[in-house]
Amino acid sequence: MGHGSLLKNFLIQIAILGAQVIGRAFSKALRQELQYSQTATQSGKTTARTVQADRVAGMSLQEAKQILNISAEESIDVEKLKAKYDYLFKINDKTKGGSFYLQSKIYRANERIEQELKSREREEEEGISKNRKKTKETTKTNDSAD
């Protein structure tokens, strides 16, 4: 073989290796982009759900917590929520010199927080059922492999 033939083979090998490296990098970038896209879609769904809930109740979750005197970082406990709602609703009773306007705000705040709790329950149930499906699929795949 001549020097021209060796050079030609060498250049072909370099081209093949370069294509493999670029292919791997492209594949990795594509997987990352897909992962980022899925994460953004999921957070977008959560945001859209929150906006919809705010629109239906007429107030944000933060505003509802402020009205019922629940701190922003405090977890929402159903019993505590009911106790705060009952107390604030009773002391603002119009027959006791309270305000119907404040009572309605308290009612809407309670409604908004209950809506949030139900939404979280649904999300947890959906997450659990998705995990069950994945577990079943993994089990089927593992059983098939045996």
Chain segment 87-141, per-residue pLDDT in tens: 999 999 989 898 999 999 999 999 999 988 888 888 888 777 666 666 666 665 5
CATH code: domain of residue 99:
1.10.287.110
d(CA 140, CA 145): 9
Mean pLDDT of 16-35: 83
Please say if the pLDDT value at position 21 is more than 80. Answer: yes
- Cβ neighbors of 87 (< 8 A, separation 6 or more) are none
Q: Residues 123-136, buried b or exposed e (16+ Cβ, 10 A)?
A: eeeeeeeeeeeeee
- Predicted TM-score (pTM) above 0.85: no
Domain span at 69: 59-146
Percentage of the chain lying above the pLDDT 70 cut: 73
Question: Which pLDDT score is estimated for 116?
Answer: 86
End of a domain among 39, 57, 75?
Answer: 57
Note whether 117 and 79 are same-domain residues.
Answer: yes
Query: Are residues 110 and 73 part of one domain?
Result: yes
Q: At what angle do helices 100-145 and 3-57 cross, to 10 degrees?
A: 150
